[in-house]
Amino acid sequence: MARSATPMREDILESAARLFATRGFRGTSLQDIASDVGCAKASLLYHFRNKDAILAELLAPAGRELAELADRLAPLDGDEAARAAVAGLVELSLGFRRQVKILLQDVDVMINRPELPGLNESIERLVDSLAGRSDAPEARVRAWMALVAVPLTTATGLPVPDETLRAELTRGALRTLDRPLD
């Protein structure tokens, strides 16, 4: 790619997202991103102070949507909470496949990152909804299983149409949660 003195933020974010998803956050340097965009590293630093700032911008929309989902689920209970949580989790996972893959690539360094404020709280709220507000250990285990399986499956890049993937993820998660399929 020809070098550009002033890359667009969107180009930098697209390149970083692709490289982070492919090589991992740790495995991608600012120079890798600059080379991929076709600019000097200094041009990247004009838009972002460091690699963490790029990551923060890439993950922020997914984090906001997760928090919004947790808020929407708050007044629901039982099967209604679990079904709505599954539907929301599936849509969130499908909509943010690349971000999910980035998180999973380097999960050990992604946990408790300052770029992801409130992530643990939002996840706990989602697990509570998936469990139908039950404190039973069995319900909590099944909720965590669904929480991990749905995003992991979407991040694999299965060559399956989205409608099929959506339907099967929903069915599988509801079965895992021991909830009615209808």
In a domain, 82, yes or no: yes
Would you say the pTM of this structure is higher than 0.95? no
Positive or negative CA dihedral for 46, 109, 72, 82?
positive
Residue 68 and residue 153 in one domain: yes
In a domain, 144, yes or no: yes
Residue 75 and residue 148 in one domain: yes
Q: What is the CATH number of the domain that holds 26?
A: 1.10.10.60
Question: Which residue has tokens 């980035």?
Answer: 102
Residue 86 and residue 170 in one domain: yes
pLDDT the model gives residue 114: 72
In a domain, 24, yes or no: yes
Residue 74 and residue 130 in one domain: yes
pLDDT the model gives residue 6: 61
Residue 95 structural domain: 59-176
Residue 136 and residue 163 in one domain: yes
CB burial string 143-152: b at 16+ within 10 A, e below? beebbebbbe
Residue 158 and residue 99 in one domain: yes
**Burial of 122 by CB count in 10 Å (0-12 exposed, 13-18 middle, 19+ buried)?**
buried
Residue 120 and residue 155 in one domain: yes
In a domain, 120, yes or no: yes
**Number of domains into which the chain is organized:** 2
Q: How far, in whole angstroms, is CA 155 from its chain's centroid?
A: 9
In a domain, 54, yes or no: no
The pLDDT profile of the chain, 182 residues, written as one tens digit per residue, is: 444 456 799 999 999 999 999 999 999 999 999 999 999 999 999 999 999 999 989 988 998 899 899 999 999 999 999 999 999 999 999 999 999 999 888 877 777 777 677 788 889 999 999 999 999 999 999 999 999 999 999 999 899 999 999 999 999 999 999 998 87
CB 122 within 8 A of CB 77: no
Residue 102 and residue 155 in one domain: yes
In a domain, 1, yes or no: no
Residue 151 and residue 71 in one domain: yes
In a domain, 53, yes or no: no
Nearest Cα neighbor of 150 from 101, 86, 96 is 86
In a domain, 88, yes or no: yes
